[in-house]
């Protein structure tokens, strides 16, 4: 029974699942926390990976593994493989002015032309999340650090590199040393950098130069969807694996994936499927045969982990909107749901535009949240609880509308993420979206997708024509459509007043 491991190095934690490569059955798992913040020393990711691996019973018997991770983060390395400064994460918005500058430059001063030019070039209009904007910020604000950059990696690239035994010179946990040319990545994560075009499979050094001012830096090699990028160092994983079938020795490391692409693979999404994820960020994702080039910036045209495109509308404000509501009302999640369901749809006109941390879709990094329709009759705890939940879901519904406007097929909708288990979210979501919604069995979808990719890599090592393993995804709950137009109508009337 070959075993594979899937790693999710997310914003908040590192989670590892070990699964049977053939059936996908869960064998064991482990996790460890990451520190809070929008800039983090990557050493914390390495420490958390080791802690999570130990909690999962070790990885000595794992034949292949793959790493899914938070997209866009900027990890800069010097010539000795050392991290130059703390990594800027996807949710660090300090590079918003840099994004606007790059857009204007590519459009010769015309923002609309520049926005469309970026969408045509890489599938996305630049926002502060994308790596390229963070490199421009580094060049402009920390020129000494920018001058030291010898390689640029994404969080999952860097962790895969460390698992393979590479790392900073002199570090005993990096026995193979700082071989920067051994960095590798996949199409899905590369497509979120702003300097890689997934439609051609090529980096855009001309765009990288616009940001960093030079191109003499190492970028991770982009490997194919089921290609092994490296072999894990035996001190980390695979020391007990004996590949008697001829697929090699040690634990193969898959290409990895951005978190949304990993979740898509874990859910078994195909064209026509929509996933609405309510986590740290809110994501409406769709698998499509090819990416779009949405010059409005509402939709990002990324790649998935199978060779298709992955279209995303992303909001910065999702589950943490519910956290804010709990703080305001001094209740737990169950209490918040109970309160919200006491108020009617539309909360009698009380509407929250939940831009509590700025926003990405729409691109309003400096926006703040606004509560509209406050009257004596709506100044109750149930009205406030419902307004927070409705506002969060309306932001995601706008993302679904944007996908439809780009011609993306909507055949099946799935609601995932921790907040999807809330009784209030489950009741209100079909009212906001007006569609039937399936809720899969709770799971670690990113880690599960990484594990499925690892199983695919293992299969291809023995049979080059092997496809992704047919692991099943169980829909635990199906919610009937229950449209309440008043919710979206009220939200639409005030959304742009914030």
The string of DSSP codes covering 2-63 is -EEEEEEE-SSEEEEEEEETTT--EEEEEEEEPPPSSEE-THHHHHHHHHHHHHTT-STTEE
Pairing of β 282-288 and β 62-69: unpaired
For β-strands 3-9 and 62-69, DSSP reports them as parallel
Concatenating the DSSP letter of every residue in 398-454 gives HHHHHHHHTT----EEEEESGGGG-HHHHHHHHHHH-S-EEEEPP--HHHHHHHHHH
Half-sphere CA count of 498, side-chain side, radius 13 A: 26
Cα–Cα distance for residue pair 305/143, rounded to 1 Å: 35
Instruction: Judge whether 372 is annotated as a binding position.
Output: no
**Is the CA virtual torsion 133, 97, 83, 147 positive or negative?**
positive
Distance CA 453, CA 265 (A): 8
Residue with tokens 């914390």: 44
72 is in an annotated binding site: yes
Backbone angles phi and psi of 71, in degrees to 5: -80, 165
Task: Report the C-alpha gap between 277 and 425 in whole angstroms.
Answer: 12
Measured in degrees and rounded to the nearest 5, phi and psi for residue 44 equal -65, -35
Single out the catalytic residue among 86, 186, 189, 259: 259
DSSP H or E stretch at residue 143: helix 143-148
Backbone phi, then psi, for 269, in 5-degree steps? -70, 140
**Nearest alpha carbon to residue 386 among 452, 443, 437, 340:** 340
Dist CA 416 CA 420 (whole Å):
5
H/E stretch holding 115: helix 111-122
Residue 259 among the catalytic residues: yes
CA distance 162 to 151: 14
Contact 62, 5 (CB under 8 A): yes
Q: Which two tokens stand for residue 382?
A: 């149930």
Beta strand 39-40 pairing with 282-288: unpaired
Q: Are 274 and 321 in contact (CB under 8 A)?
A: no
The two structure tokens encoding residue 212: 């960093």
Determine the Cα angle at 237 with ends 232 and 243, to 5°: 80
Q: What are phi and psi of 197, to 5 degrees?
A: -105, 105
d(CA 253, CA 243): 14
Query: Residue 129's closest CA among 309, 287, 361, 288?
Result: 361
Catalytic residue set: 259
Q: Residues comprising the binding site? A: 71-72
Q: Residues comprising the binding site for substrate? A: 71-72
């Amino acid at each position: 029974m070959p075993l594979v491991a899937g790693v999710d190095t997310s914003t908040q934690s590192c989670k590892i699942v070990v699964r049977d490569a053939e059936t996908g059955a869960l064998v064991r798992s482990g996790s460890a926390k990451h520190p809070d913040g929008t800039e983090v020393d990557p050493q914390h990711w390495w420490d958390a990976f080791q802690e999570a691996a130990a909690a999962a019973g070790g990885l000595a018997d794992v034949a292949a593994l793959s790493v899914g991770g938070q997209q866009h983060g900027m990890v800069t390395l010097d010539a000795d493989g050392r991290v130059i400064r703390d990594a800027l994460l996807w949710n660090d918005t300090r590079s918003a002015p840099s994004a606007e500058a790059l857009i204007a430059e590519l459009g010769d001063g015309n923002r609309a032309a520049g926005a469309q030019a970026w969408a045509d070039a890489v599938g996305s209009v630049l926002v502060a999340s994308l790596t390229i904007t963070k490199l421009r910020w580094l060049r402009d604000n920390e020129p000494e650090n920018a001058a030291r950059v010898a390689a640029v990696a994404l969080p999952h690239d860097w962790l895969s590199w460390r698992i393979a035994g590479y790392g900073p010179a002199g570090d005993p946990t990096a026995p193979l040393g700082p071989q920067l040319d051994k960095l590798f990545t996949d199409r899905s994560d590369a497509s979120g950098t702003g300097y890689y075009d997934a439609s051609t499979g090529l980096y855009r050094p001309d765009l990288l130069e616009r940001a960093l001012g030079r191109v003499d830096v190492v970028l991770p090699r982009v490997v194919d969807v089921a290609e092994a990028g490296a072999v894990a160092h035996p001190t980390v994983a695979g020391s007990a694996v004996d590949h008697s079938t001829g697929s090699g020795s040690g634990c193969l490391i898959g290409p990895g994936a951005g978190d949304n692409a990993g979740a898509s693979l874990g859910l078994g999404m195909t064209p026509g499927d929509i996933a609405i994820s309510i986590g740290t960020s809110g994501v409406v994702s769709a698998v499509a045969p090819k990416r779009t080039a949405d010059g409005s910036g509402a939709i990002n045209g990324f790649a998935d982990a199978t060779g298709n495109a992955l279209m995303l509308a992303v909001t910065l404000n999702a589950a943490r909107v519910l956290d804010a509501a709990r703080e305001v009302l001094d209740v737990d999640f169950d209490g918040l749901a109970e309160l919200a369901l006491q108020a009617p749809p539309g909360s009698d006109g009380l509407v929250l535009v939940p831009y509590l941390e700025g926003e990405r879709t729409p691109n309003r990094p400096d926006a703040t949240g606004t509560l509209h329709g406050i009257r004596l009759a709506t100044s109750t705890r149930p009205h406030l609880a419902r307004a927070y939940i409705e506002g969060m879901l309306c932001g995601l519904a706008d993302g679904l509308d944007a996908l439809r406007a780009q011609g993306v097929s909507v055949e099946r909708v799935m609601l995932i993420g921790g907040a999807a288990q809330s009784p209030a979210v489950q009741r209100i979501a079909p009212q906001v979206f007006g569609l039937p919604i399936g809720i899969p069995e709770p799971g670690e979808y990113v880690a599960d997708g990484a594990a499925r990719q690892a199983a695919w890599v293992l299969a291809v090592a023995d049979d080059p024509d092997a496809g992704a393993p047919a692991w099943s995804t169980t829909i635990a709950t199906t919610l009937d459509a229950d449209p309440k137009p008043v919710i979206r109508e009220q939200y639409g009337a005030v959304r742009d007043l914030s």
